[in-house]
Structure 1
Amino acid sequence: MARGISIPVSFSSKATAQPKVQCAAITRPQEEPSSDAVCGIAVQHRQTTDVFDRYCYPFLYPVVFNGDMEIRPCTDDDLAILSSRWKVLGGVHESHHSGQLAGDTTYLVAWRDGEPLGSGVVQWGGCIGPNAREAFPRAVEINHLQVRDEYRSQGVGTALIAAAEQLIGREGMAQAAVGVADDNPRAERLYLGLGYRRTGIVDVSEYSWVSDDGTVQQASERDQLLVKDLA
């Protein structure tokens, strides 16, 4: 799915509890870090310093979930690993990374022992759907959530959501939003169990996706908006 907000239906309902988060103390380094240390953003260029300050410091160090899972913004080095170990047609990883470099999004990737498990995007510009954006102009949307088949039902999706919410909350934003396709009731149940609520707001999106044989397909999706108050 283009928006990727429909969580795979194989997520375990028993993983609805918010995972515990263990964070290292974060302090501003005395010297500007390398571009790789700050999510691939070239902070040596002064015009990008504000992007570094706003979106990268909260995750300068990995956030650890359940003792063995790390969730962090995608770096240049991470992108090379993703392209090799988790091949997704259509340049999805590269597209999300580019959005992060532009300061529009944060592309979060979950890792365990150097292996990518899943990913999600924090959309700093707000909700994508026009109806959702009008109804909840201050909400930050979490979308493009996906987990590799072999790592589903292990709490990866729940951990990604929690990490995104933490990042949004650290920015002082009061609401997180997700869109759920009508044909994915199990995803809706998961979100409701994590504290999201129905709003009655619906948007229909049209998008392109690349099939396994490399052809571009067209589709549309009707999404229900769910929101969660973070403060």
Structure 2
Amino acid sequence: MSSVEIRICEGSSLDLLDRWIPSNGRTSFHRRRFEQQVAGSGTYLVAWLDQRPVGHLLILWTGCAADESRHWPVRCPELNALGVWPPRQRRQGIGRALLGRAEAMVAERGYVAVGLGVADDNPDAFRLYQRLGYTTRVGRYVDRWTWVDHDGVERQEAEPCTFLAKSLT
């Protein structure tokens, strides 16, 4: 396998992202993440393999938006929306490379910790995060979001999660 290259998303890459890593609904997952980057609240990283996007991760510089997070002792950027596509590309180091690049960027900005949420029904991701040092359970919360399906109907989702933090020092 060729080596994976991790780059900050550029607007010119959005059409390729939509073609190779499809969004579930009418609005582009990637465009919404890129808009957060343009607004300054996030940095959207994309993993490339042989000139094709194969993964993504959003650094939310403002931290976790869940109401429960304001009571957590650790305030840090949140790594969000980690994904590798297509599924046959998983377990080949792409997610690990995205996480490593994101952690380096967070440390470069002077943060001493980084966090992420993992869905209760995703034990594979939980094990990966544990192997990478995300062992501090900071808190439980329900991740909530809305999206518009292909018929134009707004859908609301809720997913029980655990927020994990990792020391970068």
TM-score range, shorter chain: 0.7 to 0.9
- SS of the residue corresponding to residue 71 of structure 2 reads helix
8 Å Cα contact 1:129/1:203 also seen in 2: yes
Name which of 118, 142, 161 aligns with 2:99.
161
Mapped partners of 1:214, 1:87: distance in 2: 17
The answer for the alignment partner of 2:66 in structure 1 is 129
Question: Would you identify which runs of 4 or more consecutive aligned residues in structure 1 move more than 3 Å?
Answer: 209-217
TM-score, with structure 2 as normaliser: 0.88
For structure 1, the 5+ residue unaligned runs are 1-65
How do residues 130-145 of structure 1 correspond to structure 2 at under 5 angstroms? 130-145=67-82
Aligned residues: 166
How do residues 190-201 of structure 1 correspond to structure 2 at under 5 angstroms? 190-201=128-139
TM-score, with structure 1 as normaliser: 0.66
Percent identity of paired positions between Structure 1 and Structure 2: 37
State the Cα distance separating 1:142 from its structure 2 match.
0.2
The answer for the alignment partner of 1:85 in structure 2 is 20
8 Å Cα contact 1:138/1:173 also seen in 2: no
For structure 2, the 5+ residue unaligned runs are none
How do residues 1-231 of structure 1 correspond to structure 2 at under 5 angstroms? 68-88=3-23, 89=25, 90-148=27-85, 149-209=87-147, 216-231=154-169
State the Cα distance separating 1:103 from its structure 2 match.
0.6
Which digits, 9 at most, give the CA deviation of each residue in 1:132-182, with x for residues without a partner? Answer: 243145311001111112321211111111111010011010111011111
Which digits, 9 at most, give the CA deviation of each residue in 1:19-52, with x for residues without a partner? Answer: xxxxxxxxxxxxxxxxxxxxxxxxxxxxxxxxxx
Mapped partners of 1:138, 1:156: distance in 2: 27
